[in-house]
Structure 1
């Protein structure tokens, strides 16, 4: 079976995968999650967070047989990791995530969306280095189909998101192209419009595009369904089973 590395999105941490990890383990996979710099238990000061540092955190946790799943903004650091060392992972999975265009930052990618969903939902810090999601917008934006207890738990854990790595352009070459990719679109997403996800998913082969009827947080709302999709991706990535 597969080794699956989970990379969270903006303002989250490794904690957000708590329900998906056991669902993947029940299917026989090794599943683990990491904190991006300044998130969760990572002590990096917000002012020191860079896209390169996020990339390096992914590379440090990956092996050549790892399937890396990036959620939302997490699509950028996993792409940067593939560009830096395409042999360091087996495949990338974009989970309702941004798929970079050559030379564009995530901020620029977000502006290309056919609908803007978060402009009125975030507050920038006084020093201009990070942003937070307004508490009264969190459930509608991220978790509208999630259990109430899960929403309360998440609200207590959300943290500031550094702006600099999201405003850093990412050049891509055939190194990134070498890595197999899949896309999972959340069809009821209120953060990244589903139609924009459909557009970004065109960068992966048709048989590696999947839909899940979920909000922006399928790891909370439909962990078993999401685990099943990731299992299908793993079976296509390792058609003869995980190498020994």
Structure 2
């Protein structure tokens, strides 16, 4: 008969945390701490050119290269280990790609107010629909910056201080907004403004047999001003069999505004 300690050991999980646009692994510092405090493993990754990753923005030419840190981490997992992938915002695309490539290494894919592409559609379609939904003035003082690599179509952009304060961090502690303003970096979207981006434009990339068969959970963040709740639910409606949870009282940066509650929910999802 299993002891309480044995049961606790069996219910420890490995969470792999993937950040959104212009951010880095640093934005998970509170949620990762909360998960580790409960005895779980939390690995927060920088996508290529983000956070503390050594690549320059101009070095990251494709979405495949951008997502390489996650893909390499999945490939390096020990045999039979299955992780809980947690995507935030734009990180949903990298997580979807990782699930398609490594479905047998994914216990669950959790989308925290994240872009969740549907099987049989290009991933870029989700971004196109979001941009059409929110309109051209939505991003306020965010701005494009000079593209240093002529091989990359479209210009990188960076979130503006007012956009971050009003759309992304409106319920987060002010010190976390300050931290974000200090650490964000320009990013290439790949999903927009680049018709040559192969993966994001491939309607056959995400298959029912792999990505579609994985356990997927979408966490609707009701008070998110960055990806409105109505659009979050629209993404869910495009993907049958996706489980849905809801969180109120958090902003787009749920890992900063409600880190303990988010960690508790992630653990419950993993336990189920």
Alignment TM-score, normalising by the size of structure 2: 0.80
Q: Which residue of 2 aligns with 1:161?
A: 187
| 3-state SS in 2 of match to 1:4 | strand
| 3-state SS in 2 of match to 1:191 | coil
Encode CA deviations 1:17-65: one digit per residue, 9 max, x unaligned. 0100111112221111000111011122223322112333212223341
Q: Which residue of 2 aligns with 1:126?
A: 146
What's the CA shift for 1:204? Answer: 5.7
1:229 partnered with 2:246: no
Task: Report which of the two structures shows the higher radius of gyration computed on alpha carbons.
Answer: 2
Aligned pairs, how many? 234
Contact 2:221 2:251 in 1 (8 A): yes
Inter-CA distance 17–211: structure 2 relative to 1 (3 Å threshold) = same
What's the CA shift for 1:120? Answer: 3.0
Q: How do 1:214-225 residues align onto structure 2 when only pairs under 5 Å count?
A: 214-225=250-261
Write the distance in 2 (CA, Å) between the matches of 1:149 and 1:108. 32
Write the distance in 1 (CA, Å) between the matches of 2:41 and 2:259. 15
What's the CA shift for 1:112? Answer: 4.7
Q: Which structure 1 residue ranges, 5 or more long, are not aligned?
A: 237-244
Q: How do 1:198-209 residues align onto structure 2 when only pairs under 5 Å count?
A: 198-202=233-237, 203=239, 205=241, 208-209=243-244
What's the CA shift for 1:81? Answer: 1.2
Encode CA deviations 1:139-197: one digit per residue, 9 max, x unaligned. 11210011111111111011111132555325311221121111111101111110111
| 3-state SS in 2 of match to 1:154 | helix
| Deviates most, 192-201 or 128-137 | 128-137
Q: Please, which of 110, 123, 137 is the counterpart of residue 93 of structure 1?
A: 110
| 3-state SS in 2 of match to 1:18 | helix
Inter-CA distance 54–90: structure 2 relative to 1 (3 Å threshold) = farther
Q: Which structure 2 residue ranges, 5 or more long, are not aligned?
A: 1-11, 148-153, 195-199
Q: How do 1:36-55 residues align onto structure 2 when only pairs under 5 Å count?
A: 36-49=47-60, 50-55=62-67
Q: Please, which of 207, 222, 228 is the counterpart of residue 173 of structure 1?
A: 207
Contact 1:10 1:73 in 2 (8 A): yes
Contact 2:115 2:127 in 1 (8 A): no
Contact 2:47 2:68 in 1 (8 A): no
Contact 1:59 1:88 in 2 (8 A): no
Q: Which residue of 1 aligns with 2:6?
A: none
